[in-house]
Amino acid sequence: MKSTFDFGLIGLGVMGRNFILNVADNNFKAYGHDLDDKKVNALKEEGNNLEKIDASTNIETFVNALSMPRKIMLLVPAGKIVDAVIDDLLPLLDKDDIIIDGGNSFFTDTDRRADALADKGIHFFGAGVSGGAKGARLGPSIMPGGNREAYNKVKPIFEAVSAKYKGEPCVAYLGPKSAGNYVKMVHNGIEYGLMQITSEIYDLLKKGGDFTNEQLHQTYAKWNTGRLQSFLVQITSEIFAQNDHLEDGKLIDKILDKAKQKGTGKWTSQNAMDLGIPVPSIDIAVSMRELSALKNERIIAANLYEKPSIEKIDAEKLEKLAEEAMYFSFVITYAQGLSQLADASKEYAYDLDLEIVAKIWRAGCIIRAEILTDIAIAFSVDKDLPNLLVSKQFVDKIRSAVSSARQLVAYGAKNGIPLPGLSNSLTYFDAYTTNKLPLNLIQAQRDYFGSHTYERLDRDGIFHTEWSD
Ligand code: 6PG
């Protein structure tokens, strides 16, 4: 076989199959590989033109079909499988070939793999791909990092297949090493935060305003035409309208309230802790998935404690409060994720341009949202913006939304409705905008019991006091 295929893809699951079909749709010849012959045959059939798209279960046939330097993307589960696939490929590759990991790999794994492969003359880089199965087929947001020259060889393909925002491709080279995987990890952390907030607002509307599924559907649909316009608000609206296919009624009411996770949100939180960057709206979203999993314990505990009877709010009023509180909490969640990216950029020398990050998130990915237009402007005005909360783009909007967040958080506390995403966002805001926090007391305590020393407001230096005197 002639080595004429422009692009190779390993892992023909739903994401891989859709991505490779997207590549072929954009007039690149693409070759797939999977050990499962059913997946290989399904791709050949769907591709419907073996000149443009072909596949094999044999890795040698796959490698030999690709033009040089070979561009091979992996869309396989993160972890050991990525290493196993690289081990299989390695003896078959030539110097300057390129391997792109399109999965949600942990960023330090990407650095390790890139270093090991660089020694062998192979370019390896991570490229986060967001947008789920549909995105992969019709245009995902792609977040590549790594060696810039290697990326430039893949750039025409990625720019063609990516989502477009007003004609601009939602892909850009983000920075060296694992920059792409890191940005995708934080994207997912933000995704967790936004999902938690949308679910709390649903709970509030239902419990506080007796919203039916139809009203919820209408309300989220309406919000999706305003400043809350986003993929997550749009699909939430559609979810409320979905009939159950097994029983009467809407499907949402039959789904078990235990949320699973694959780990990327948790990694975001863990790494934020390592960096010393507070991301409480993301942390709590991870904790809530964990708490939701304790269903059996929750059932027992629910019988031990009475909940306050819920005092209802007028539906129109509640809808307005909810829109503002949701906008507020969404902005705060993006603010936290982006401040983590700003810090990680320094710590890991990624040299990220957060305006570009915001721009490539405007279409294709799960956290695409109208808010990102303002976020991109905020970073274009100030590349080193430490936090969205101090950007002119947001100050007035946040000022006018915060009171609704306060009212709803207080309402939730009074009526026993858990709103941890909203309240963590509000607490973050209140702490971040407080000139003097009570942490002077913590410094005093640390010095009291451990001689850990403290600094003073009124003079420079490090101090210690013999408190027991
Ligand atoms: C995306 C998503 C995707 C992620 C799923 C599942 O950007 O397309 O972030 O990469 O894997 O959303 O994540 P959890 O199973 O952890 O919820």
The DSSP code sequence of 333-358 is HHHHHHHHHHHHHHHTT----HHHHH
The answer on pLDDT for 5 being more than 70 is yes
Q: Is the CB of 132 under 6 A from ligand 1?
A: yes
Using 50, 70 and 90 to split pLDDT, how confident is the model at 31?
A: very high
For the stretch 56-74, pLDDT in tens is: 999 999 999 999 999 999 9
Task: Specify the residue with its C-alpha closest to ligand 1, atom 10.
Answer: 130
Q: Is the CB of 18 under 6 A from ligand 1?
A: no
For 307, which DSSP code?
Answer: P
Segment holding 160, helix H or strand E: helix 148-161
Cα 131 to Cα 365: distance, rounded to the nearest angstrom: 4
Dihedral pair phi/psi, residue 458, rounded to 5°? -100, -5
Report CA(276)–ligand 1 centroid distance (Å): 25
**Residues with Cβ within 8 Å of residue 274, at least 6 apart in sequence:** none
Share of the chain above pLDDT 70, in %: 100
Task: Specify the residue with its C-alpha closest to ligand 1, atom 2.
Answer: 130
Cα 250 to Cα 214: distance, rounded to the nearest angstrom: 10
- The pLDDT of 411-425, averaged and rounded, is 98
For the stretch 98-153, pLDDT in tens is: 999 999 999 999 999 999 999 999 999 999 999 999 999 999 999 999 999 999 99
Task: Note the residue count of the chain.
Answer: 469
Q: Which two tokens stand for residue 94?
A: 């030539």
Q: Tell me if 463 sits within 8 A of 456, measured CB to CB.
A: yes
Indicate the average pLDDT of the chain: 97
Q: Is the CB of 365 under 6 A from ligand 1?
A: yes
Position 33 scores a pLDDT of: 98
Task: Specify the residue with its C-alpha closest to ligand 1, atom 7.
Answer: 130
Q: Tell me if 261 sits within 8 A of 286, measured CB to CB.
A: yes
Q: Which two tokens stand for residue 293?
A: 């999993």
Q: What is the dihedral of CA 37, 42, 45, 49, to 10 degrees?
A: -80
For the stretch 310-353, pLDDT in tens is: 999 999 999 999 999 999 999 999 999 999 999 999 999 999 99
Using 50, 70 and 90 to split pLDDT, how confident is the model at 469?
A: low
Q: Is the CB of 262 under 6 A from ligand 1?
A: yes
The answer on pLDDT for 27 being more than 90 is yes
The answer on pLDDT for 1 being more than 70 is no
Q: Is the CB of 110 under 6 A from ligand 1?
A: no
Position 179 scores a pLDDT of: 98
Supply the residues annotated as catalytic.
184, 191
For the stretch 222-238, pLDDT in tens is: 999 999 999 999 999 99
| pTM as predicted | 0.97
Position 206 scores a pLDDT of: 98
Q: Mutate which of 262, 267, 268, 287 to test ligand 1's pocket (most atoms within 8 Å of Cβ)?
A: 262
Closest CA to 312 of 200, 414, 408, 207: 207
The answer on pLDDT for 431 being more than 80 is yes
Q: Mutate which of 191, 195, 198, 270 to test ligand 1's pocket (most atoms within 8 Å of Cβ)?
A: 191
Q: Tell me if 402 sits within 8 A of 426, measured CB to CB.
A: yes
Q: Is the CB of 191 under 6 A from ligand 1?
A: yes
For the stretch 394-409, pLDDT in tens is: 999 999 999 999 999 9
Cα 372 to Cα 358: distance, rounded to the nearest angstrom: 6
Question: Exposed e or buried b for every residue in 153-189, given b needs 16+ CB within 10 A?
Answer: ebbebbbbbbbebeeebbbbbbbbbbbbbbbbbbbbb
Using 50, 70 and 90 to split pLDDT, how confident is the model at 2?
A: confident
CA atoms within 13 A on the CB side of 284: 24
For the stretch 192-229, pLDDT in tens is: 999 999 999 999 999 999 999 999 999 999 999 999 99
Q: Is the CB of 130 under 6 A from ligand 1?
A: yes
Q: Mutate which of 264, 270, 282, 286 to test ligand 1's pocket (most atoms within 8 Å of Cβ)?
A: 264
Report CA(142)–ligand 1 centroid distance (Å): 14
For the stretch 360-388, pLDDT in tens is: 999 999 999 999 999 999 999 999 999 99
Q: Is the CB of 104 under 6 A from ligand 1?
A: yes
Using 50, 70 and 90 to split pLDDT, how confident is the model at 3?
A: confident
Q: ∠366-429-262 over CA atoms, to 5°?
A: 35
Q: Are strands 30-33 and 7-10 parallel, antiparallel or unpaired?
A: parallel
What's the sign of the alpha-carbon dihedral 264, 360, 85, 98? negative
For the stretch 249-300, pLDDT in tens is: 999 999 999 999 999 999 999 999 999 999 999 999 999 999 999 999 999 9
Question: Exposed e or buried b for every residue in 271-282, given b needs 16+ CB within 10 A?
Answer: bbeebebbbbbb
